[in-house]
Chains A and B, each alone.
Chain A
Amino acid sequence: MDRIMNSTAFAVAAAVLSFAAPAWSQGDTSLTIALPAEPADIDGCNTTVTGIGVIVKENIVETLTTLDPDDSTVQPRLATAWEDLGDGTWRVSLRENVTFHDGAPFNAEAVAFAIDRLTSDAIACRDRTKIANVELTTTVVDEHTIDIHAEPAQILMPTLLSFIGAVSPNTPADEISRAPVGTGPFRFESWDSEGIAVTRNADYWGEEPAATDALYVFRPESALRAAMVELGEADIAHDIAPQDATTEMDHAFLNGETTRLRMVMEPPLDDLRVRKAFNLAFDRNALIGSILSDRAELATQFILPKIDGHNPDLEPWPYDPEQAKALLEEARADGVPVDKELRLVGRIGFFPNQEEMLQVMQQMWSQVGLNVRLEMMESAEWLKLVNKPYPEDREAMLIQEQHDNNNGDASFTMRFRFHSDGRQSEFSIPEVDKLIEDAEAATGEERTRLFQEANRVISEEIVPSVYMYHMISYMRVSPEISYEPNSLSLIQLELADVTFD
């Protein structure tokens, strides 16, 4: 009997050991990149969607322009030059001697096709969000010149060009693609249960990348992704949690996301003193370096400092529970129902440790007598709360939000959230509406000044939110390659930037 048991145990051990050889990468030029979630598709007209852009954008499908990760200035890519002809028309010169992966030539016709496809109502391209309420029409001038007309006229046309991915004219015009064909340094190879594979494009117009091919694999667990790099199973682990970023291999970067709590301004949150109390009783610094990365920055407004329209003069709220209590006392004396239980609605899956962060905030508020109940929601449910039309009997609550504006200009943030016709606006204040409208119509310094003023009024006088942090992401990069993440790396990870030591 014992012999049977022993030999069984031996067989199992032998089976385990025989597969034990670790899969170290062999010093070759293939990359494996571990991402948190498998995208739904990888179409070239959905490149502004986080999980899609990180694979497709500028790797497979290139855009007409790109934005500098550091200062958001517009850089040429497939467009080499652009010029405002007035009347909302821009003349764009295109790069020559570029071909798509399927052999089709890249020219004005191809750009016209890509724009038609993007704006077509036969498919729901999500990049349309970035050119919402703008009618784009194209006129081919010659092989490598195209006129793009926008109605209404777009001051930010060069920025808009960075949302237009040049997909091959052979791409189906009425169907979202899972096999994108572009002009980029990598061509799409396959998508199966292993992951998404791309290989180097031998005919690329630009500099040849160091990597020969790449495989994107999807693992939801942060610790697992991090371990994969450590074990040599992957070269890059994308978006790992702060607690897993414990080694030299881990790079922190400002990821472009800003997080806040939006306050629904019904009683008692219709009272400015109560809204201020929420801000004063929240010790923002206590979370930095513990639950959040020590590199996270305090937010004073919903956009990052690198965005045009960010007001650098705004100060973060101090932590002053005594003053918060005093404000609440004052409000209570005026009959404001400050003791009402308020929902604090979190959305599952924004970023690591978010629920813990909200729990800490809840406790901080309870210490000044604010009665907050945390509720975590799945995204479909959460979405019902954040978009207009709001239900008639909407109650006061705090809603956790996260927003990324990596497009260089405050207009991509402001109207939608703070103008009275914005789909997620909680208030209607003529002064703010006018500032936003004027800013959108202005250019240069005037535009900057007006947006800054709008942000000042909102942050200091209206206080519609508890602004929290500009968020940090971590990326684990294998010591066998070198890659330095930048502020766009969460949505756009250019394989061409990877080199081998």
Chain B
Amino acid sequence: MTYYLTKRTLWSAVSLFGLVVFVFFMARLTGSPVDLYLPIDAPESLREDFERIHGFDLPLWQQFVDFLGGLLTFDFGQSLRQGVPALELVLRAMPTTLLLALYSIGLALIVAIVTGALAAWRPNSIFDRIATLLSLLGASLPNFWVAIVGVLIFAVTLRWVPTSGTGSVAQWILPVFVLAIRPAGLLVQVARSSMISALSSAYVKTAQAKGAAPARIIFIHALRNAMLPVITVAGDQAAGIINGAVIVETIFGFPGVGKLLIDSIMFRDFAVVQAGVMVTAVAIFILNFTIDIVYAVLDPRTRGH
């Protein structure tokens, strides 16, 4: 186990390094930021000063060496757009995104476990069919579309929640719901099918034979066994949100990493793009790592590996 985890960490470090190199050059392939930052009629001298101040006049290899040097001390350089260290910007935006992921996956998990368990209790009952259909629908809705339709209905027409912003709890409701819909849809299906197998297992049958209450059977005996695939998929979905809640963050004006990343890409703010990609990759790595450990704890069979 320890050997496995160590090996994984090392390989991930190699991948991260590859990623950083890749991002460095890919980002620069999209062209110089100078024109984007200066007014269209900026004089040549201003353009030269701008390039010199931000180091764009140096040859690319030199920029790369400088970048690698900074990396050793976790210095990704200054944000071109905001003039503060890039890493600081990313770390400031990270909690918002992590909380968004946590809340929406948490919500999705609760919905999925309850619905999935109930649906699996009596497969092909009316409830099961409706739940399956709704979960499929949830997994099929484009989230940008849900977001704008959601704003229209719940904020503009019904006025239940504010349209956007992050200041109050109410402002989190709509984004969290929008982000939770797709994962919830997927998770209900996974929870349902793994509950069905769990409920048909000998272990549960024994519990049933002993006369345990249905709720106890579902939520205590079967659920524990059915959790593994659910956790895997939930992890994947959480990674998806950390990596790309761009649209929801943009529409609702949430200052998360996704929005920061797309703004930085659009404005060719290379330092922030690099820091952002790196930090999200690390976050996702930690997430997967944690899931592996949870997995190992839940499932004794993997411990041997």
Question: Is chain B a partner of chain A in the same complex?
Answer: yes
Question: A interface vs B, CB < 8 Å?
Answer: 1, 4-5, 8, 15-17, 19-20, 22-23, 38, 40-41, 48-49, 121-126, 128-129, 132-133, 175-176, 178, 193-194, 217-221, 223-224, 227-228, 230-231, 233, 378-381, 383-384, 386-387, 416, 423-424
Interface residue from B53, B118, B156 paired with A122 (Cβ < 8 Å): B53
A122-B53, A129-B41, A178-B84 given; name 14 further pairs at CB < 8 Å: A1-B127, A8-B114, A19-B170, A23-B168, A40-B82, A123-B53, A124-B38, A124-B49, A126-B42, A227-B151, A231-B156, A231-B162, A387-B35, A416-B41
Give me 11 A-to-B residue pairs in the complex whose CB atoms sit less than 8 angstroms apart, sorted by A's number.
Answer: A1-B118, A17-B160, A19-B160, A125-B46, A126-B39, A132-B43, A175-B83, A193-B96, A193-B166, A194-B166, A217-B165
- Interface of chain A, main secondary structure: loop
Contacts of A424 in B (CB 8 A): 40-41
Report yes or no: B163 in contact with A218, Cβ–Cβ below 8 A.
no
Interface residue from B31, B127, B250 paired with A380 (Cβ < 8 Å): B31
Report yes or no: A380 in contact with B53, Cβ–Cβ below 8 A.
no
A379-B36 contact in complex given A16-B160, A16-B161, A194-B165, C-beta closer than 8 Å: yes
Asked whether B164 is an interface residue with its Cβ less than 8 Å from the other chain, the reply is yes
Report yes or no: A126 in contact with B167, Cβ–Cβ below 8 A.
no
B131 to chain A, nearest CB (A): 10
Q: With the chains together, A223 CA to B165 CA distance in Å? A: 15
Asked whether B37 is an interface residue with its Cβ less than 8 Å from the other chain, the reply is yes
Report yes or no: A129 in contact with B163, Cβ–Cβ below 8 A.
no
Asked whether B282 is an interface residue with its Cβ less than 8 Å from the other chain, the reply is no
Asked whether B297 is an interface residue with its Cβ less than 8 Å from the other chain, the reply is no
A232 to chain B, nearest CB (A): 10
Report yes or no: A387 in contact with B30, Cβ–Cβ below 8 A.
no
A239 to chain B, nearest CB (A): 16
Report yes or no: A219 in contact with B53, Cβ–Cβ below 8 A.
no
A-B CB proximity, top 10 nearest: A19-B170, A132-B43, A124-B50, A193-B255, A383-B35, A40-B81, A129-B39, A121-B49, A129-B42, A20-B160
Interface residue from A19, A22, A133, A387 paired with B40 (Cβ < 8 Å): A387
B37 to chain A, nearest CB (A): 7
Report yes or no: A221 in contact with B43, Cβ–Cβ below 8 A.
no
Report yes or no: A178 in contact with B83, Cβ–Cβ below 8 A.
yes
Contacts of B192 in A (CB 8 A): none
B64 to chain A, nearest CB (A): 21
B90 to chain A, nearest CB (A): 13
Report yes or no: A23 in contact with B162, Cβ–Cβ below 8 A.
yes
A450 to chain B, nearest CB (A): 21
Q: With the chains together, A16 CA to B170 CA distance in Å? A: 8
* Residue from A1, A41, A49, A218 whose CB has the most chain B CB atoms within 10 Å: A1
Report yes or no: B162 in contact with A224, Cβ–Cβ below 8 A.
no
Contacts of A132 in B (CB 8 A): 41-43, 45-46
Contacts of A4 in B (CB 8 A): 114, 118
A133 to chain B, nearest CB (A): 6
Report yes or no: A19 in contact with B173, Cβ–Cβ below 8 A.
yes
Report yes or no: A423 in contact with B36, Cβ–Cβ below 8 A.
no
Report yes or no: A22 in contact with B43, Cβ–Cβ below 8 A.
no
Report yes or no: B162 in contact with A233, Cβ–Cβ below 8 A.
yes
Question: B interface vs A, CB < 8 Å?
Answer: 30-31, 33, 35-43, 45-46, 49-50, 52-53, 81-84, 92, 96, 114, 118, 121, 127, 148, 151, 155-156, 159-170, 173, 250-251, 253, 255, 263, 266-268
Give A22's nearest chain B residue, CB to CB.
B159
Report yes or no: B83 in contact with A121, Cβ–Cβ below 8 A.
no
Report yes or no: A40 in contact with B37, Cβ–Cβ below 8 A.
yes
Contacts of B37 in A (CB 8 A): 40, 124, 126
Report yes or no: B41 in contact with A128, Cβ–Cβ below 8 A.
no
Q: With the chains together, A38 CA to B260 CA distance in Å? A: 11
A231 to chain B, nearest CB (A): 6
Report yes or no: B266 in contact with A219, Cβ–Cβ below 8 A.
no
Contacts of B83 in A (CB 8 A): 41, 175-176, 178
A56 to chain B, nearest CB (A): 15
Report yes or no: A16 in contact with B163, Cβ–Cβ below 8 A.
no
Report yes or no: B46 in contact with A194, Cβ–Cβ below 8 A.
no
A490 to chain B, nearest CB (A): 15
Contacts of B165 in A (CB 8 A): 194, 217, 233
Give A40's nearest chain B residue, CB to CB.
B81
Contacts of A15 in B (CB 8 A): 173
Report yes or no: A19 in contact with B42, Cβ–Cβ below 8 A.
no
Contacts of B148 in A (CB 8 A): 221
Report yes or no: B81 in contact with A48, Cβ–Cβ below 8 A.
no
A178-B255 contact in complex given A121-B49, A227-B156, C-beta closer than 8 Å: no
A19-B250 contact in complex given A123-B53, A175-B83, C-beta closer than 8 Å: no
Q: With the chains together, A41 CA to B82 CA distance in Å? A: 6
B114 to chain A, nearest CB (A): 7
Report yes or no: A40 in contact with B267, Cβ–Cβ below 8 A.
yes
Contacts of A23 in B (CB 8 A): 162, 168
Report yes or no: A129 in contact with B167, Cβ–Cβ below 8 A.
no
Interface residue from B42, B170, B255 paired with A128 (Cβ < 8 Å): B42
Report yes or no: B163 in contact with A231, Cβ–Cβ below 8 A.
yes
Q: With the chains together, A125 CA to B42 CA distance in Å? A: 10
Q: With the chains together, A233 CA to B161 CA distance in Å? A: 11
Contacts of B50 in A (CB 8 A): 124
Q: With the chains together, A8 CA to B38 CA distance in Å? A: 54
Contacts of A220 in B (CB 8 A): 250, 253
Contacts of B82 in A (CB 8 A): 40-41, 178
Give B171's nearest chain A residue, CB to CB.
A19
Report yes or no: A227 in contact with B35, Cβ–Cβ below 8 A.
no
Contacts of A38 in B (CB 8 A): 263
